[in-house]
Structure 1
Amino acid sequence: MRSASESAELFRHVSVDKSEFYRRVMDVFAAAKRQYRLQLRPDEVLAEARWSGAPPRMEEVSAALTQLTVWGNLESHPDTARVSSLSDFYRARFLYRLSQGGEAVEAALALFVQTLQRRAELQTVALEDIASRLRALNALADQGEADVAKIHETLRDLVRVFEGLAENAQAFMAGVARSIELQQAESGAVANYKRKLIDYLERFIGDLVRRSDTIASHILALDPRIDDLLQQVSAREARDAAPGNEADRAEAQTAYRDAWRERWKGLHGWFFRSGHDLSQAELLRARARSAIPQLLGAIAALNERRSGRSDRSADFRILAGWFVACRSDGEAHRLARAAFALNPARHFALNTDADADLPATTRWADAPPLKIHPRLREYGEAAPRGPMARIRDRAEARAKLARELAEEFQQVEAARKRLATGYPTRLSDLGELDRHAFGLFLGLLGEALTEQTHPDAPVSRQTGDGLLHIDLTPLAAETHAEITTPHGVFSGRDHLITITPTQDMR
């Protein structure tokens, strides 16, 4: 048995300087094993390897094979098949093949790559296979004389399909958030991927809901008879148990039966609730549903990052051009105040005694001189001696702010009630809208038009906050609509719009 240090030597070739060279050599031996070829010569390795550039010299390949043999990945044997003279006999010629440790390393690396590249799949085909296997198992259980071999075969197929479904579902539930990697994608690819993923999830959710009831009914029909079936299958498997006395055989049969019961319990728990806990199928369905808002959130974050991306040096160059274009010092001063936020900020309260009776909008030039403590210049903070300044009572200001927020909320709610009637309305029939109603209307119209692929295409979507649902249908191209607002007249092509609160649609 290899020690830990000896086993570690088997992985040396993946971390050394010439790791790529060694891996290409080992890939040849892994392919040869899949093709049932036992041994390879150095010239065959040189010819069959996929080199990244020009093929290396035979001496380099021979040196690599020798080193891999030292690490234990390969085994070498003298090659006497091509000996034609005495000098050829004494010349070192070897045949190479994978060692036991080398085979284990190649299998581990292949599994590692396969796991990394595996994409979590929601298998609707597996649901169909599970239902068909359960249907076949019910038919076999209804027969007068049980065909144990067919029952055993059906149960093994059922377990194999179910394990694949459960494994892929677990990978999906654990990694669905990581699979939404859209940070570097183009906007067209993002929209295309969003559409495909949402269709994929909706198709799986519908199939899972439809087939879960069928599978559950088959399981309920099998429950009274499953113990007898599992007992017969366990007895059949126990025939292949290692030789022993009767007690050993009975113990092996019990172990097989317990294993089958555990598998059946897992299948049962996938489609039936256990107490107050949701079944695994319901959890998977909920996780698939939650993947859709996760995707939409990722896309919103991506758009926000793209729209908020800035280049400070470019901003300063543009600002410099604006300063050059100023026609007077007054314009330049106004631009500087706007660009660098040089506005009154008496709320900093650096000198509370002088600022006590000054409003926050007072200009610094019009205010009394501000005394700066030397400690502030030296340490960046000021800790004046004596008692702390009296805390200002801002209860009245907070109450005023609360009243303004409540008033604004009522106005927005009134605007929402006016627009979200649930009935189709022409834009030309909206008439006059106040400031809040027009602001809400513009926001809803903007959300709807972002989904429109063609000026004549109807749009149906839910708002980003999930409170309203919009249906927008363009009318004839020659129609015209005008909406009067406090800011002017909003005009354009007439549409038929239906705004419905989400709770009214349930």
Structure 2
Amino acid sequence: MSDPITPTPEPADADAGTYGPFAYLTAPNSVLYRRVMRVLMVEKERFTVHVRPEQVYAGVAVDGGDAVTEEAVGNALESLADGRWGNLLAFPDSSRVTAIEDFYRRRMLFQLSRAGEAAERALAQYDAALGTRGSLQSVALEDIVALLITLRHTVSEHATGATVDAALAHQTLRSLRERFVELADNAVAFMGSIQRTIDLHDADVEAFLAYKEQLVDYLERFINDLLVRGAAIAELLGSLDAASIDVLVTIAAEREAVDAAPGEAETAAASARQAWLRQWSGLTDWFVSTPARESEAKLLRARARSAIPALLAVVRALHEKAGGRTDRTHDFVTLARWFATLPADGDRHRLWRSAFGLTPVRHLSITAATEDAWASADLGNVTPWADAPPLEISPQLRRTGAYERRGKAVRVTDRSVAKALLVDRARQEAEQTAAARRRILTGGPKPLSAFGVLDPESFRLFLALLGDALAAMGPNPETAQVHTSDGELTVTLIRTPGSGVAVINTADGTLAGPDHLVDIASAVDEAAGDLVNWAAG
């Protein structure tokens, strides 16, 4: 009687530095191998030590994949347990031996090896990273505000000499770090997915158009939340000075150093302290702007804001494409393809004349004798100029450079009515513009929220002036002054922090944004007043 097969125990570092457990991904039956390994991972998570082939087959049969035989699953298990790959460990199954024949029959139990489990977890993480689309998390912003308020309360207790709950402070810092990392990572992934959506909109036009409405609403909601809660987070971060941050970091570092190995507590505390300081600095840089740079939250808000017109531009392009409009580039590419498929130069010349019609010299007049000679001659595309009938040019054309046919003069068209219509239209537009300018004059600094309701003409002019002033102001200055192109209006814009939100109602909708002081004055009136004052002086 021969001894039963006993697997070789797995060495401690059998697979260290090798990638054999990933080799099955390039094998012919890689799909089946992945399904088998997923079943074994599920059993591992259920704390099952050994798995029989029939258990694996039952799991593969219900995973939603293609149907396979029990024999194929058994062969896959044996291949994965092979020493070249080492994903599984195989043990003889002697628990069901009831006769000598059963003892000789090969029955095995399978278990994930350490290398196989590590490889499968890495693949699961890889699949999760590829499958995630990211999100803009307004709830994370709320959580960060609540956690910062808790930390500020902890610092206040420490300043008054009260006993601080170190465990609560440490857990709050950990929660703050996790929520912030999740917010930042998901925001980056989401903005990347938006760009791919914009770039690959031709994949499914109907799905893109249906998704666009929800996406724009989603972006607008997050932009508003980031504007409000981002300002609250920046204010909370600013309320914690260096001494307060030092208290929090010290509490967290000391608690983490408690579990360090003997003799390493001091080193572990110093290392943890530096790590917490770096992470707090990253949190501050994400929400707080400085004169040298913009905060990441502000840049994210600008990126999300710019994604909305980009999406709308894609929608407009899709509508134009659906309406049958094509650009000149497509026409020229199609024409070049036609030229390339023609067999001879004569065919290409005829296509050229048909497409562009540039062959005749239409400004050059010739005599009737020349036209008759050309009509009677059998000329081809390859006829040399020397063999073609000569071109008879009028002596008057040769002498003066101009040739006019004799006959009745062309009657001059009377365009007085059209000119009067244009003059009247220009006058009406000038009057509307002047009236709109008079309606938006402020007579001194005035908050945006005080403008109330504007008619369409006044609102269009006001919006253009406001855009020029905001562009001139930039991110850092507090005041900007611009002039209209004709020099008739001067616009002064003053930033007022903490002044709330201004709302301007129009017939076309509502404009809302941070309130500013604006002064719209007539430069002509100011110049006239200066002249009067100078003369009086």
TM over 0.5: yes
Distance in 2 between residues matched to 1:23 and 1:195, nearest whole Å: 38
Q: Please state how far the C-alpha of 1:420 moved relative to its aligned partner.
A: 7.9
The answer to whether 1:220 aligns with 2:238 is: yes
Counting matched residue pairs gives: 364
C-alpha RMSD over aligned residues: 4.3
The structure that has the greater radius of gyration is: 2
Distance in 1 between residues matched to 2:181 and 2:75, nearest whole Å: 45
CA separation of 1:418 and 1:98: change in aligned 2, threshold 3 A: farther
Q: Please state how far the C-alpha of 1:198 moved relative to its aligned partner.
A: 0.9
Letter in 2 for 1:79: D
Distance in 2 between residues matched to 1:366 and 1:99, nearest whole Å: 95
CA separation of 1:304 and 1:158: change in aligned 2, threshold 3 A: same
The answer to which of 122-131 and 211-220 deviates more is 211-220
Letter in 2 for 1:130: I
Match of 2:151 among 107, 128, 137: 137
Contact 1:122/1:165 (<8 A) preserved? yes
The answer to whether 1:100 aligns with 2:114 is: yes
> Cα deviation per residue 1:413-466 (whole Å; 9 max; x = unaligned)?
959947986999xxxxxxxxxxxxxxxxxxxxxxxxxxxxxxxxxx9xx99xx9
Aligned to 2:355: 341
Q: Please state how far the C-alpha of 1:254 moved relative to its aligned partner.
A: 1.3
Contact 1:345/1:360 (<8 A) preserved? no
Match of 2:29 among 13, 18, 33: 18
Distance in 1 between residues matched to 2:40 and 2:130, nearest whole Å: 22
The answer to which of 125-134 and 136-145 deviates more is 136-145
Aligned to 1:38: 49
Q: Please state how far the C-alpha of 1:265 moved relative to its aligned partner.
A: 0.6
- The TM-score normalised by the length of structure 2 is 0.59
Alignment of structure 1 residues 357-372 onto 2, 5 Å: 359=363
Q: Please state how far the C-alpha of 1:124 moved relative to its aligned partner.
A: 0.3
Aligned to 1:230: 249
Aligned to 1:251: 267
> Cα deviation per residue 1:327-375 (whole Å; 9 max; x = unaligned)?
xxxxxxxxx99994363445xxxxxxxx6xx62899xx96997997899
> Cα deviation per residue 1:62-89 (whole Å; 9 max; x = unaligned)?
2111111112111111111111112212
Match of 1:190 among 200, 208, 219: 208
Structure 2 gap ranges (5+): 1-12, 335-349, 386-421, 437-455, 466-505, 512-517, 519-537
Letter in 2 for 1:47: A
Aligned to 1:282: 298
Letter in 2 for 1:60: A
> Cα deviation per residue 1:22-81 (whole Å; 9 max; x = unaligned)?
22212211221222222211111112213634441x332221111111121111111111
CA separation of 1:339 and 1:226: change in aligned 2, threshold 3 A: same
> Cα deviation per residue 1:295-333 (whole Å; 9 max; x = unaligned)?
122223334444357999xx9xxxxxxxxxxxxxxxxxx
CA separation of 1:59 and 1:337: change in aligned 2, threshold 3 A: closer
Aligned to 2:196: 178
Distance in 2 between residues matched to 1:415 and 1:360, nearest whole Å: 44
CA separation of 1:309 and 1:153: change in aligned 2, threshold 3 A: same
Contact 1:421/1:499 (<8 A) preserved? no
Match of 1:69 among 81, 84, 90: 81
CA separation of 1:278 and 1:51: change in aligned 2, threshold 3 A: closer
CA separation of 1:84 and 1:207: change in aligned 2, threshold 3 A: same
The answer to whether 1:241 aligns with 2:275 is: no
Distance in 2 between residues matched to 1:281 and 1:243, nearest whole Å: 42
Aligned to 2:475: none
CA separation of 1:344 and 1:41: change in aligned 2, threshold 3 A: same
Distance in 2 between residues matched to 1:140 and 1:278, nearest whole Å: 29
Letter in 2 for 1:108: A
Contact 1:419/1:499 (<8 A) preserved? no
> Cα deviation per residue 1:110-152 (whole Å; 9 max; x = unaligned)?
1111111101211000000000000111112222222111110
Distance in 2 between residues matched to 1:359 and 1:159, nearest whole Å: 78
Distance in 2 between residues matched to 1:375 and 1:155, nearest whole Å: 90
CA separation of 1:420 and 1:103: change in aligned 2, threshold 3 A: farther
Structure 1 gap ranges (5+): 316-335, 347-354, 377-409, 425-458, 469-496
- The TM-score normalised by the length of structure 1 is 0.62
Match of 1:299 among 300, 309, 315: 315
Contact 1:39/1:97 (<8 A) preserved? yes
> Cα deviation per residue 1:9-34 (whole Å; 9 max; x = unaligned)?
32232222222222221221122122
CA separation of 1:415 and 1:257: change in aligned 2, threshold 3 A: farther
Aligned to 1:397: none
Contact 1:420/1:498 (<8 A) preserved? no
Identity within the alignment, %: 37
Letter in 1 for 2:363: P
Q: Please state how far the C-alpha of 1:2 moved relative to its aligned partner.
A: 5.3
Contact 1:24/1:51 (<8 A) preserved? no
Alignment of structure 1 residues 470-485 onto 2, 5 Å: none
Aligned to 1:379: none
What SS class does the counterpart of residue 97 from structure 1 fall into? strand
What SS class does the counterpart of residue 202 from structure 2 fall into? coil
Alignment of structure 1 residues 94-493 onto 2, 5 Å: 94-143=108-157, 144-180=162-198, 181-187=200-206, 189-223=207-241, 224-244=243-263, 248-306=264-322, 307-308=324-325, 340-341=354-355, 343-346=357-360, 359=363, 417=429
CA separation of 1:172 and 1:29: change in aligned 2, threshold 3 A: same
Letter in 1 for 2:120: E
